[in-house]
Homo-oligomer: A and B are copies of this chain.
């Protein structure tokens, strides 16, 4: 496994791979790997001749008071895990390399970043779109993999790629879960044992809403009330939002008559956790 930290080296390596006719499959990450990350890498392995994984805790997507400083990092463990999955190249630039003095260019995806997490994290998706655009220019992939857990991120990146005519395919990979259903996240490491147990209720509530929708409950208000009831029974969870949205535009939906996603965010102790579930696979594009 090759380790590259300089942008120019990565440019030259990507050029060489493309000249050889190799397909580059890319998994951008912030490191501190769990099974969800490894699943993205495995899928990348199936898709491309060469798998490149970036590890970069991106400062521009954290707001003031968020967990940029204490975001968990363990490069040695990450390298060992990625090596076992068969990753070919790790790209891990410094923040100084990515954002030198006088840095001043940002990519803004406007509508799909307004709702959900965008409402409480105003600069988050600008930071995500910007760093992903940079990484795509650096790594020059043919295909890139993103987890569906970060649903709004997946929609934002997909929208950016289409709008800016970036010639690559985005693959959304289903959320990897612990045995009790909790969506895997590097931030789960912040949870105390009690909070960890309470956190199960997030996915349980989503599943319950999915069942109700399948049984014909269409009113968002009723579905969300049910979700709130289940989550609120766990005292350490503080709900940020519970929204039923159009999966492409992320606009609120009041009646689930066509394709719809239920997305939630909650603070559990020091961890801000998010999850989502498809309520209805629709016919709408």
Contacts and interface: CB of A to CB of B under 8 A. Distances in A.
A105 B105 contact: no
A24 to B, nearest CB: 13
B102 A110 contact: no
A224 interface: no
24 contacts: A11-B165, A11-B167, A15-B167, A19-B19, A19-B21, A102-B249, A103-B163, A104-B109, A104-B112, A104-B159, A104-B163, A105-B107, A105-B108, A105-B109, A105-B110, A105-B129, A105-B163, A106-B108, A106-B110, A107-B108, A108-B108, A134-B163, A134-B165, A137-B165
Interface in A152-182: 159-160, 163-167
Contacts of A249: 102
A111 interface: yes
A11 B130 CA distance: 22
Nearest to A103: B163
Interface in A192-242: none
Contacts of A163: 103-105, 134
A226 to B, nearest CB: 32
A34 interface: no
Nearest to A104: B110
Nearest to A113: B104
Interface string A108-145: 11111000000000000000011001100110100000
A105 B103 CA distance: 19
A138 B165 contact: yes
A7 interface: yes
A111 B101 CA distance: 12
A18 interface: yes
Contacts of A103: 163
A21 to B, nearest CB: 7
Contacts of A104: 109-112, 159, 163
Nearest to A21: B19
Contacts of A7: 165
Contacts of A107: 105-108, 164
Contacts of A129: 105
A52 to B, nearest CB: 14
Contacts of A166: 137
Which of the listed residues A18, A102, A112 has the most CB atoms from chain B within 10 Å of its own CB? A102
